[in-house]
Amino acid sequence: MMKNYKDFIESNNSITTSSSSSSSSSCSSSSGGCSNCGNNNNNNNKDGNCGNCPNTNKNNTNVNLNSKIMNNSSNSNIFYSKNKNNRNHIAICNKITIDVAVLCQEYTTIEKMCDDHIINLDEIEITKDLFQCIFYPYYENFGINKNTICNNCSYAEYISFLPEYRTVNGKKFYLLEEIISNIESDLNISRNCFTVESLVELTNEIISINSLCDLNCCSVLSSLTWCNILEIIKNYSIINENCGCTSDPSVSSSASVSSSASVSVSSSSSYAKEPIIPICVISVIFKTPTPGVKNTIVRFNYRITDL
């Protein structure tokens, strides 16, 4: 019984094997037919295979599948390459700006003096040590030591209002006449229309001011320190050296320092590469409570020759 069952299994295997061999050999041995199935019809393609052959369809399916896999792989490589090249771009696009805080620093209100009468006296040549001795006797803060300066006649030419020392464009300067003329201009009336009492009082007040020492001792409104002035001059000197301009004797370069005593610095030219010549300006403001009368500002221009 077992022997017969074994013989039956072997017999079936041999039949299956021979059938498969026969089918394969018949497809390959048929002349003029399909190389896979041996069918002889007019539907053979350029490879010699018929369109109805299942093996051909299977092979075509495998080829198409392999082609798709290769295309997908190629597209994946291209996508990766693009992403790799654009990684920096993506990082930049991802940046965000966050406003964290806002700080503020207030500074002094700037008042205009466009309507004031400004008188610029001719330059007064002075050395740095002498200027410091007169206006910065305590080195750092602005001030005039009246006990030393006002009692020494050698300083008169530097601090006096008198016409023998002060000029405007080469012409003698008269403080009283300038102030009265400005009042006439502002009020649009002649001095003959002033009351005698007010004109006499005004004359006495102005005539008594012969020098800076005669001003009110508390008249300093604002000023720079001596160190600040030196620092400003130094900064303008560095700018002048680095401007890259050629030297031109016809163009002057200067800086001005003003004080009412208020002090500021400005450079009048950026074309000449020459040493900075500081002009330290001390401004004196004459004001009156009379309605409609503008301030008269007299500016002492000190040209420091050894800085």
Least confident range from 176-185, 199-208, 247-256: namely 247-256
- The verdict on 205 and 58 lying in the same domain is no
pTM attached to this predicted model: 0.60
- The verdict on 124 and 270 lying in the same domain is yes
- The verdict on 245 and 167 lying in the same domain is yes
Question: How high is the mean pLDDT of the chain?
Answer: 73
- The verdict on 170 and 235 lying in the same domain is yes
Evaluate whether residue 19 is within a structural domain. Answer: no
| pLDDT tier at 161, thresholds 50, 70, 90 | very high
Reported as half-sphere exposure (CB side, CA atoms, 13 A), residue 122 has a value of 12
Is 271 a residue whose pLDDT tops 50? no
Separation CA 276–CA 125 (nearest Å): 15
| Residue span of the structural domain in which 261 resides | 117-304
Evaluate whether residue 264 is within a structural domain. Answer: yes
Is 168 a residue whose pLDDT tops 80? yes
221 against 13, higher pLDDT: 221
Residues 6 or more apart from 40 whose CB is under 8 A from it?
A: 30, 32, 33, 34
- The verdict on 276 and 179 lying in the same domain is yes
- The verdict on 252 and 217 lying in the same domain is yes
| pLDDT tier at 103, thresholds 50, 70, 90 | confident
pLDDT confidence of residue 219? 74
112 against 123, higher pLDDT: 123
Stretch 284-302: mean pLDDT: 94
pLDDT confidence of residue 108? 75
Stretch 299-306: mean pLDDT: 93
Separation CA 94–CA 85 (nearest Å): 16
The answer to whether the beta carbons of residues 279 and 301 sit under 8 Å apart is yes
- The verdict on 149 and 294 lying in the same domain is yes
Is 213 a residue whose pLDDT tops 50? yes
Q: Tell me the CA distances in angstroms from 210 to 78, 122, 179, 246, one per residue in order.
A: 92, 17, 14, 44
Residue 110 is which amino acid?
I
Total number of domains in the chain = 2
Evaluate whether residue 40 is within a structural domain. Answer: no
Is 40 a residue whose pLDDT tops 60? no
Separation CA 151–CA 156 (nearest Å): 9
- What's the Rg (C-alpha) of the chain? 53
Q: Is 68 exposed, middle or buried (0-12, 13-18, 19+ CB in 10 A)?
A: exposed
- The verdict on 272 and 146 lying in the same domain is yes
Separation CA 181–CA 168 (nearest Å): 15
- The verdict on 143 and 271 lying in the same domain is yes
